[in-house]
């Protein structure tokens, strides 16, 4: 208390500075307060709505189970990462390790990646619909949805990997080349392992986007509540939640789904922090 009083005392001559201070306090408090409100409200109102039949293996209109959607979400994340991570890492390796400074290709890749990261998810959804569902005549397919999302998170993986590769000191490369290793060996044995923390944090961010995505999936992977094959429709948890809300009959289940989604997001955030800490310590 004494300290705060002393601080306020020192502002006596400077009312304008005090006003600025207060504005900053209010803004920060609001930002954090809103986050706490959203998370707290959904957890407190939602957890009582969780019931075992919502986790039944099969979906029907009676139990409105979210289990198929949960399994789909996990499958979707794996499939998207399987496509996007190798491409993103490969592209980043080219940009950092091979490309000459200021080459036209590098500039083009940067500009297009920037463009991709700004495109709204509904535009991705329509693009995926036009390409996979109509042009390829696949209809709504899980694979179409995964490919669409893979393009969507590609710039994220690319950028974080690029930063991580750039952060590896040049002496590592010089040392490896000096010992007679080729550039491939240098990349896979020396550079990539030391860039892992950065890459992992990018991948985790990507998982978060896939889990939360709705608009890009509705017209690509569709909204059927079953665990699909690659070429049939299946909805993820976020799409499941939208379907519940737009039908308007299942508020309880919507609360429960929101809780599960939020818990996943919390875990992802905590996990990324934990991994970053653990890997930087080593």
Partner 1 sequence: MKEAREFIMKCVFILTACVSIAAVVLICIFMFANGIPAIAKIGPLNFLLGEKWKPMNNIFGILPMIVGSIYVTAGAIIIGVPIAFFASVYLAKFCNEKLYKILKPAVELMAGIPSIVYGFFGLVVIVPIMQKLMGGSGKSVLTASILLGIMILPTVIGVAESSIRAVPDSYYEGALALGATRERSVFFAVLPGAKSGILAGVILGIGRAIGETMAVIMVAGNQPVIPGNLAMGVRTLTSNIVMEMGYATDLHREALIATAVVLFVLILIINLCCSALQRRSGQ
Check binding of 36 to partner 1 (CB under 8 A).
Answer: yes
Interface pick for partner 1 out of 39, 43, 56, 263 (rule CB under 8 A): 39
Check binding of 95 to partner 1 (CB under 8 A).
Answer: yes
Interface pick for partner 1 out of 71, 75, 262, 276 (rule CB under 8 A): 262
Check binding of 50 to partner 1 (CB under 8 A).
Answer: no
| Window of 24-32, 49-57, 192-200, 225-233 that interacts with partner 1 by CB under 8 A | 24-32
Interface pick for partner 1 out of 48, 120, 193, 229 (rule CB under 8 A): 120
| Window of 25-33, 51-59, 170-178, 192-200 that interacts with partner 1 by CB under 8 A | 25-33
Check binding of 263 to partner 1 (CB under 8 A).
Answer: no
Check binding of 112 to partner 1 (CB under 8 A).
Answer: yes
Check binding of 115 to partner 1 (CB under 8 A).
Answer: yes
Nearer to partner 1, 57 or 136 (CB): 136
Q: Three-state secondary structure along the chain? A: CHHHHHHHHHCCCCHHHHHHHHHHHHHHHHHHHHHHHHHHHHHHHHHHHCCHHHHCCCCCCCCCCCHHHHHHHHHHHHHHHHHHHHHHHHHHHHHHHHCCCCCHHHHHHHHHHHHHHHCCHHHHHHHHHHHHHHHCCCCCCHHHHHHHHHHHHHHHHHHHHHHHHHHCCHHHHHHHHHCCCCHHHHHHHHHHHHHHHHHHHHHHHHHHHHHHCCHHHHCCCCCCCCCCCCCCCCCCHHHHHHHHHHHCCCHHHHHHHHHHHHHHHHHHHHHHHHHHHHHHHC
Check binding of 32 to partner 1 (CB under 8 A).
Answer: yes
CB of 92 to partner 1, least distance (A): 8
CB of 214 to partner 1, least distance (A): 5
Which residues within the stretch 169-228 sit at the binding site for partner 1 (CB under 8 A)?
Answer: 182-184, 208, 211-215, 218-219
Check binding of 47 to partner 1 (CB under 8 A).
Answer: no
What residues have CB less than 8 Å from 227, skipping those under 6 apart?
Answer: 68, 71, 72, 75, 234
Check binding of 265 to partner 1 (CB under 8 A).
Answer: yes
Check binding of 114 to partner 1 (CB under 8 A).
Answer: yes
Interface pick for partner 1 out of 8, 51, 269, 277 (rule CB under 8 A): 269
**Alpha carbons 142 and 195: distance in angstroms, whole number:** 32
């Amino acid at each position: 208390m004494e300290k705060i009083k002393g601080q306020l005392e020192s502002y006596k001559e400077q009312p304008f500075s005090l006003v600025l201070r207060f504005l900053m306090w209010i803004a920060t408090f609001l930002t954090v307060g809103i986050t706490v409100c959203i998370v707290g409200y959904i957890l407190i109102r939602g957890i009582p709505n969780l019931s075992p039949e919502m986790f039944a293996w099969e979906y029907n209109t009676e139990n409105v189970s979210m289990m198929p959607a949960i399994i789909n979400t996990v499958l979707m994340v794996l499939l998207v990462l399987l496509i996007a991570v190798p491409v993103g890492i490969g592209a980043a390796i080219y940009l950092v390790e091979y490309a000459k400074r200021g080459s036209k290709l590098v500039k083009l890749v940067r500009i297009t990646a920037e463009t991709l990261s700004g495109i709204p998810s509904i535009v991705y959804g329509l693009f995926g619909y036009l390409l996979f569902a109509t042009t390829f005549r696949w209809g709504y397919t899980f694979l179409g949805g995964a490919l669409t999302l893979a393009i969507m998170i590609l710039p994220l993986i690319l950028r974080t990997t690029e930063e991580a590769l750039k952060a590896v000191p040049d002496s590592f490369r010089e040392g490896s080349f000096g010992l007679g290793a080729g550039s491939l060996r240098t990349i896979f044995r020396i550079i990539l392992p030391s860039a892992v923390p950065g890459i992992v944090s990018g991948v985790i961010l990507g998982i978060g986007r896939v889990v939360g995505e709705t608009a890009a999936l509705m017209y690509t992977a569709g909204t059927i509540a079953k665990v699909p094959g690659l070429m049939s429709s299946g909805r993820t948890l976020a799409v499941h939640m939208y379907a519940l809300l737009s039908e308007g009959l299942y508020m309880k289940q919507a609360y429960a789904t929101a809780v599960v989604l939020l818990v996943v997001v919390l875990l992802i955030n905590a996990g990324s922090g934990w991994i970053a800490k653990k890997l930087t310590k080593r």
